[in-house]
Amino acid sequence: MTDPETLAVTIVDGYVDEPAHFGVPPYISTYPRYTAGALVDAGVPPTNITYHTIDGLREVPGRWQDVDDADLLIYLGGMTVPGKYVGGTPAEPDEVRKLAWTASGTSLMGGPVKFGVGDANEGATETERQDLDFDFVAKGDVEAAAYDLVESGLEGFGNRMRDVTEVTRWAQDGAFIVEQHPNHPDYLICELETSRGCAYRCSFCTEPLYGNPTFRPPPSVVGEVDALSDFGVRHFRIGRQADILAYGGDGEAPNPDALRTLYGGIRDVAPDLETLHLDNMNPITIVNWPEKSREGIRIIAEHNTPGDTAAFGLESADPVVQAANNLNVTAEECFEAVKIVNEEAGWRPGGTAENAPEWGPDAPNRLPKLLPGINLLHGLKDEREETYERNRQFLQRVYDNGLMLRRVNIRQVMAFAGTDMSETGAAIAHEHKSLFKRYKKEIREEIDNPMLKRVAPPGTVLPDVHLEYHQDGKTFGRQLGTYPLLVGIPGEHTLGSTIDIAVVDHGYRSVTGVPYPLDLNSASLAELEAIPGIGSRTAGDVVINRPYESVTEAGVDSNVELVQFATTRPSSRAE
Ligand code: SF4
């Protein structure tokens, strides 16, 4: 019998990306936190639990010793939606196999990896179930497996799901693990689970494999936020749910009181939080229960932090594709839901809810509180050329009606065993590859760019942009939050630091920004040139003629309202 008190456990996080759960840095998913809590509950001392991310192992090869030395190695990972990530690189199947081979002790694998493994984490792929040479694969909840495995003296476990009492306990007991994440404490955001499962059955989606929705009651989630705050976490995303509006209801209809208790409770236990965002909201809930949904959306917008996004899974605006894939919302219904979110939550800090959606010259210079995002999926059953045009028209209609979208996510399907799409696989996605490429470019140019100018016009301030990498003489960074904008800043700024920026220009899904406020007495040539309408000659003149006592004194003629975000500080030369 193995004594839990003496057990050394290493958890390796290969990252997860599921339709309603994200865990690539700067995000940490629920899996490592719950698993650590389950181990503690089973009697393993927290000091015996080591946590590494896959990037952490790549960067410091000596850390592989912890994989070898552990009595129990737990690998957590799995990508069930395709993606490319700035903050980390998910574990490749070969690396996962190497983990199993390196482990001298017992090895357990869990997380969405149980749904299948593709050759690469990209769209238009098919997957198959593999054990990747691990001793055990958790086919139920990996945290329950970890608990039962330790209880059994590492002999085995039944594949089961955990219950609400367990998750409440484990979420709090495992909060300590965040301290071992390389991004802790400043650049780390915790994904929070409010429910699992879904009332609907879209053909491609792995979420229904969790069954009908089950909710964690507010005290369970709030207690977890409290514990995470005690370990220095200031950024949270309520992203582990299929539909935040359905929270605490009958599975489909909204329950605004439950939302109020949840959001109010989080604010009470974490008054210093810096980010509170969400992820998924089902547009059909808004259309079927508009008044209750409006109330729920207002509650969210009162408690969240700006720049929040409610991702809508429209997936296709083509009725033929909708019918063939059991999609639950029509283009007309989704349009109505986009409008309602804009009306209730499309106001900006410093503005007024009555004016929502707020955009244009008089709008405050902050991101709106909450906007819809649209997910479109290609390669679904019965997709045709017309599907692409219908999707494009839908987005154009949203723009033409003066509404805002925070982002449009266009992907190709990944086919998983156990979903209806497994029969069709990636065949249609392959067939339509060139059509898809052309259409994606069109959407980026014709919709994303003008929409971004509406959502974040020049002068919009984005506080606390974390600087992540240098490229082509620029520094790139993002705010912490849901679907943060990528910001390119002229010049090479210190990586790992955080600065406020003001938007000066737009790409398709990214912006150019300059430090905010931009001091004309010390700004670099590159920063001045980044302002639309200021060429290199004017920028040079600004530099030569400083210092200035006011922005107007600089006499700069640009395409943007410079006074909105520039300043003149007395420089040492000026004094
Ligand atoms: S509504 Fe459809 S896509 Fe969204 S979680 Fe449910 S099954 Fe998945």
> 207-216, 315-324, 358-367, 369-378 — which is least confidently predicted?
207-216
Please work out whether the CB of residue 81 comes within 6 Å of at least one atom of ligand 1.
no
Comparing CA positions, the residue from 218, 178, 222 lying closest to residue 27 is 178
Cα dihedral angle (313, 318, 324, 326), rounded to 10 degrees?
30
Report which of residues 366 and 555 the model is more confident about. 366
What is the 484 CA–ligand 1 centroid distance (Å)?
23
Please work out whether the CB of residue 202 comes within 6 Å of at least one atom of ligand 1.
yes
User: What's residue 131's pLDDT?
Assistant: 78
Task: Give the pLDDT band (50/70/90) at residue 167.
Answer: very high
Please work out whether the CB of residue 242 comes within 6 Å of at least one atom of ligand 1.
yes
Retrieve residue 434's tokens. Answer: 């060139």
Q: How far is it, in rounded angstroms, from Cα 430 to Cα 220? A: 44
Q: Are 39 and 49 in contact (CB under 8 A)?
A: yes
Identify each DSSP E strand in 19-53 by its residue range: 21-22, 27-28, 49-53
Please work out whether the CB of residue 111 comes within 6 Å of at least one atom of ligand 1.
no
Q: From residue 352, how far is each of 172, 372, 447 by CA, in Å?
A: 37, 19, 26
pTM comes to 0.93
Q: How far is it, in rounded angstroms, from Cα 365 to Cα 501? A: 11
Please work out whether the CB of residue 282 comes within 6 Å of at least one atom of ligand 1.
yes
The atom number, within ligand 1, closest to the CA of 201 reads: 7
The atom number, within ligand 1, closest to the CA of 199 reads: 6
Task: Give the pLDDT band (50/70/90) at residue 113.
Answer: confident
| % of the chain residues with pLDDT over 70 | 95
DSSP 107: E
Q: Which residue do the tokens 């879904």 mark?
A: 198
Neighbour tally for 353: CB within 10 Å: 15
pLDDT of 122 > 60? The answer is no
What is the 445 CA–ligand 1 centroid distance (Å)?
28
- Chain centroid offset of residue 320 CA: 30
β-sheet with 27-28: strand ranges across: 27-28, 189-193, 235-240, 275-278
pLDDT of 317 > 90? The answer is yes
Once rounded to an integer, what is the mean pLDDT over residues 319-339? 96
Name the β-bridge partners of 486: 510
Please work out whether the CB of residue 200 comes within 6 Å of at least one atom of ligand 1.
yes
pLDDT of 201 > 50? The answer is yes
The atom number, within ligand 1, closest to the CA of 242 reads: 5
Once rounded to an integer, what is the mean pLDDT over residues 95-103? 95
Please work out whether the CB of residue 270 comes within 6 Å of at least one atom of ligand 1.
no
Task: Give the pLDDT band (50/70/90) at residue 570.
Answer: confident
User: What's residue 573's pLDDT?
Assistant: 47
DSSP 128: B
Please work out whether the CB of residue 23 comes within 6 Å of at least one atom of ligand 1.
no
Q: CA angle, corner 223, sides to 218 and 228, nearest 5?
A: 130
Neighbour tally for 118: CB within 10 Å: 20
Q: How many residues does the chain have?
A: 575
Q: Are 283 and 329 in contact (CB under 8 A)?
A: yes
Name the β-bridge partners of 76: 13, 110
Please work out whether the CB of residue 205 comes within 6 Å of at least one atom of ligand 1.
yes
CB proximity list for 462: less than 8 A, separation 6 or greater:
307, 367, 456, 479, 485, 487, 500, 501, 502, 503, 511, 513, 516
Give the tens place of pLDDT for each residue, 215-263.
Answer: 999 999 999 999 999 999 999 999 999 999 999 999 899 999 999 999 9
Q: How far is it, in rounded angstroms, from Cα 96 to Cα 99? A: 5
How many Cα atoms within 13 Å fall on the side-chain side of residue 112? 30
Nearest Cα residue to atom 8 of ligand 1? 205
Please work out whether the CB of residue 132 comes within 6 Å of at least one atom of ligand 1.
no
Give the tens place of pLDDT for each residue, 402-430.
Answer: 999 999 999 988 777 777 777 778 888 88
Q: How far is it, in rounded angstroms, from Cα 292 to Cα 256? A: 7
Please work out whether the CB of residue 207 comes within 6 Å of at least one atom of ligand 1.
yes
| % of the chain residues with pLDDT over 90 | 81
Q: How far is it, in rounded angstroms, from Cα 188 to Cα 196? A: 23
Nearest Cα residue to atom 1 of ligand 1? 200
Please work out whether the CB of residue 413 comes within 6 Å of at least one atom of ligand 1.
no
What is the 326 CA–ligand 1 centroid distance (Å)?
10
Among 198, 203, 212, which residue has the most ligand 1 atoms within 8 Å of its CB, making it the best to mutate? 198
Q: Which residue do the tokens 């507010």 mark?
A: 218
pLDDT of 466 > 80? The answer is yes
* Runs of H (alpha helix) within 243-328: 256-269, 283-288, 290-303, 319-324
Comparing CA positions, the residue from 307, 214, 299 lying closest to residue 265 is 299
Among 17, 205, 333, which residue has the most ligand 1 atoms within 8 Å of its CB, making it the best to mutate? 205
**DSSP for 356-398, written as a single string:** -S--STTS-SS--SEEEEEEEEES-TT--HHHHHHHHHHHHHH
Please work out whether the CB of residue 372 comes within 6 Å of at least one atom of ligand 1.
no
Please work out whether the CB of residue 198 comes within 6 Å of at least one atom of ligand 1.
yes
Q: Which residue do the tokens 């749910």 mark?
A: 241
Please work out whether the CB of residue 213 comes within 6 Å of at least one atom of ligand 1.
no
pLDDT of 41 > 50? The answer is yes
Start-to-end Cα distance in the chain? 76
